[in-house]
Amino acid sequence: MEEFWNNRYAEKDFAYGTEPNNFLKDELGKIPAGNILFVCEGEGRNAVFAAKKNWRVEAFDLSEEGKRKASLLAKQNNVSINYQIANASTIEYPENSFHVVALIYAHFPETIRKSVHEKIVRWLKPGGLVVLEAFNPNQLNNTSGGPKDLSMLYTKEIMADDFKELIIQQLNTETIELNEGKYHTGKAEIIRFIGKKLNK
C-alpha cells in the first residue's frame, strides 16, 4: 500500500485538494480547540485546517510523499503539525491523549480495522470525540473514489460495534456530491459517525 499512496501523492497536484473535508470543518467549528489526531492523513489538508484553528495537531500516514506534501501545505499556511510516518496497526499513542480523533476516509482491511478502532478509543480523553466520514457499501456503484473491496467499506452496524464503548451522537448514511480534488469528485455514498467517550 505504501507504493500505491506514494505514487498518488507524488503527483504535483494535491490528490484530494487542499481544502478540509466539509463534515470535519463543521464539527470542529462546534467545539473548543484542543489536542487532535488525524489518522491516515495523507497530504495534510485536514490537519493544516485544524492547526489554523489553533488545534494542537498530531497526524500519521504510511506515505513519505503524503508527509512531504503535508509539510509543504503547513509551511504555506504558517502552521505546525506533528506528522509521523507510521502504520495504523502498529503506531501507539498514550491513553487519554486527544480531545478528537479524526478519520476522514481512513479505510482499513477487515483484518485490522477493529483493533485500530479499539486503539483509537483508548487514545481519546474522557469526553473526547471520534469524528469519522467514510464510504459505505453503496459506493461500489460510483466512480468518486474509495476502496473497491466491499470488506473495506463501512456500515452503521460496523461502526456501532467497533465503537460500542462510545456514546453515539451521530450515525447516518448519506448521498452527497464530493468535490475534494481529482480523486474525490462526484456522487458519493458515505457514512458519518460521531462518538463520545464516557467521562469516567
Q: Where in the chain are the domains? A: 2-197
CA distance 147 to 139: 9
Confidence grade of residue 200 (pLDDT, cut at 50, 70, 90): low
**Mean pLDDT of the 21-41 span:** 97
Average pLDDT over residues 37-50: 98
Whether pLDDT at 107 is above 80: yes
**Contact indicator for 115, 86 with CB cutoff of 8 Å:** no
Q: Decide if 18 contacts 45 (C-beta within 8 A).
A: yes
The domain 2-197 is placed in CATH, from the list 2.60.40.1220, 1.10.30.50, 3.50.50.60, 3.40.50.150, at: 3.40.50.150
**pTM value surpassing 0.85:** yes
- Mean model confidence pLDDT for the chain: 96
> For a pLDDT cut of 70, what percent of the chain falls above it?
100
Contacts of 161 (CB under 8 A, 6+ apart): none
Question: For residue 1, is pLDDT > 90?
Answer: no
Query: What's the pLDDT at 127?
Result: 97
* Per-residue confidence band for 26, with pLDDT thresholds at 50, 70 and 90: very high
pLDDT in tens, 154-199: 999 999 999 999 999 999 999 999 999 999 999 999 999 999 999 8
